[in-house]
Amino acid sequence: MTSSETRRPSTLRRRLLVLLVTSGLALGLVVAGTGVVLARLVDRQDAVTRTYFDAITAADSALVHLVDAETAVRGYALTGDTVTLEPYQRAVDEISFETLAERERTSGDAALAGAAQDAADSAQVWFDEFAAPVIASVQADGTSSVSTSTVEAGRRLFDATRADAQVYIDLLRERRGAAVRELATWMSVATWTVVLLVAAAVALGVALWVALRRWVVEPLDSLAADARAVASGDLRHPVVATGPGEIASVAHDVESMRTTLVAQVEEVERSRAEIQDAHARLSEQTEELERSNRDLEQFAYVASHDLQEPLRKVASFTQLLQKRYGGQLDERADQYIEFAVDGAKRMQRLIQDLLGFSRVGRVSGELTDVPLDDALAQALDNLEEAVAETGAQVTHDELPVVRGERPLLVQLLQNLVGNAVKFRHPDRVPQVHLSAERDGDEWVVRCRDNGIGIDEQYAERVFVIFQRLHAKDVYEGTGIGLALCKKIVEFHGGRIWIDPPDGEGTSIRWTLPATDPQAPAGENGDSRA
């Protein structure tokens, strides 16, 4: 590899780095300048709309209070009526120029602080030399004690106070005017700054577009054209390395991949015959497995069918033995006979369940439109004794019409409702509710009970044949019921599952095909409680 090829991978990175750093610095300077301008603009706007506005408003209010106070004192000197002094009292309690002077000193504006202090001093002189003495004199000696010359002297003092206050207010208005002019200047600067920012962004975008097109897009287009030629089947078409170092490196890799692919295609062609042979062998094994499954089902059917007759004899004679000789032998003999009778009965139930399990899918009946309401009624008739014995309450919404074999669907509902009644909670009356909802071309049916429930970790295990979660002396059964339910549902093209626990009891759902697959979801699905 030459030195130029060694340096090539960093070329595009270096170009983009220089371009981005330069553009970023320029854009950063513009953004920083914009930030300074906006900060100054906000400061001037705050000074105009808040600082000076509040100060002028407070100064005008203080002057108005002084005028009200002066009018109140003169009115009191003429009438002696204390009601006329109310504006004077309010002026004493409200904001004063002394307060404004203190605020101006805090802000650091010496001229404003001095003007506000002059107004405060003049106001204090008027209070001390006129207002307070006149009020005291009238209170002591009446209105006759105040002479015209005294009133005139008070007027002159107040005119001086008013003049000082006006000087302060005029100075405030002058400062606000300057701030307004400065705000206008910064507003203009901000406008041009935004224009510059937009122009810089546009320029950066154009520069990036031109650079990426020249350095990336065009070389990639050339590389893509070569790759498409190879992908179209021309594996002998060479891939030429063009453009900056990184893209050239990719082109070299693609060319290496092309040459490797040519060798692999030849290898694939040699392997295809082997794969076809393996597929043929797999098909034969699949057929053999299907035959084996059919043989196993046939064996289960024959075995369970042929076992019934001898087992029936065993059960009959053990029952006769129990009936005739029960109580005549010792207690242990009676117990042995009872064990034999109970074992024979359980074996009969097991064989019957196994026979029913093996028949599903092997001995097919006629597919018809089955109203699940009618099927449930028949299942409840079969369970009448168990329902009456336990006092179970079985309710249902309006159930749909589905496509299937009626006996199998009756068996399905009978098993599920029977399980809900059998696995009831000892402290609750069994309650079972069935409902259904449309989902596309199928119905999702639900059986909900308030029994002992099923732990979530056993949600799949309960559908396996002969799997039991409880001992036989606690809950009787063969362990085939739910496995038979699963086989019936899958025979109808559906699926069955247990919902995650969301309270007491168990919720089992299964799907069945609808009789009108083209109807939209929700039709024929009105429910009644």
User: Tell me: the pLDDT tens digits for 482-527?
Assistant: 788 888 888 888 888 888 877 788 888 899 988 875 544 444 433 3
Edge to edge, the sheet with strand 496-498 lists 393-396, 431-439, 442-449, 507-513, 496-498
Element (DSSP H or E) covering residue 438: strand 431-439
Distance of alpha carbon 330 from its chain centroid, rounded? 73
- Give the pLDDT band (50/70/90) at residue 434: very high
Q: Indicate the range of 267-281, 292-306, 330-344 predicted with least confidence.
A: 292-306
Buried b (16+ CB within 10 A) or exposed e, 85-116: bebbeebeebebbbebbebbeeeebeebbbbb
Is pLDDT of 3 > 50? no
Share of the chain above pLDDT 70, in %: 76
Query: Which of 220-229, 280-289, 303-312, 320-329 shows the highest mean pLDDT?
Result: 280-289
DSSP 160: H
Q: Please write the tens of the pLDDT for every residue from 374-399.
A: 999 988 888 888 888 888 888 999 99
Q: Distance between CA 141 and CA 376 in Å, rounded? A: 113
- Give the pLDDT band (50/70/90) at residue 435: very high
Q: Please write the tens of the pLDDT for every residue from 53-76.
A: 777 887 777 778 778 878 888 787
Count other Cβ atoms within 10 Å, centred on residue 376: 21
Q: Which two tokens stand for residue 269?
A: 């062609």
Q: What is the pLDDT of residue 433?
A: 92
3-class state of residue 522 by DSSP: coil
DSSP 514: B
Is pLDDT of 469 > 60? no
Q: Please write the tens of the pLDDT for every residue from 247-285.
A: 666 767 777 776 777 777 777 777 887 888 788 888 888
Q: What is the pLDDT of residue 362?
A: 56
Q: Which two tokens stand for residue 192?
A: 């041009």
**Rounded mean pLDDT, 426-440:** 88
Is pLDDT of 160 > 50? yes
- Give the pLDDT band (50/70/90) at residue 306: low
Q: Distance between CA 67 and CA 87 in Å, rounded? A: 9
Q: What average pLDDT does the chain have? A: 75
Non-local (6+) Cβ contacts of 90 within 8 A are 65, 68
Element (DSSP H or E) covering residue 444: strand 442-449
Q: Indicate the range of 326-330, 395-399, 476-480 predicted with least confidence.
A: 476-480
Non-local (6+) Cβ contacts of 346 within 8 A are 472, 476, 478
| Residue 8 CB-density burial (10 A; 0-12 exposed, 13-18 middle, 19+ buried) | buried
- Give the pLDDT band (50/70/90) at residue 444: very high
**Rounded mean pLDDT, 409-427:** 84
Q: Please write the tens of the pLDDT for every residue from 9-29.
A: 456 677 677 777 777 787 777
Is pLDDT of 430 > 80? yes
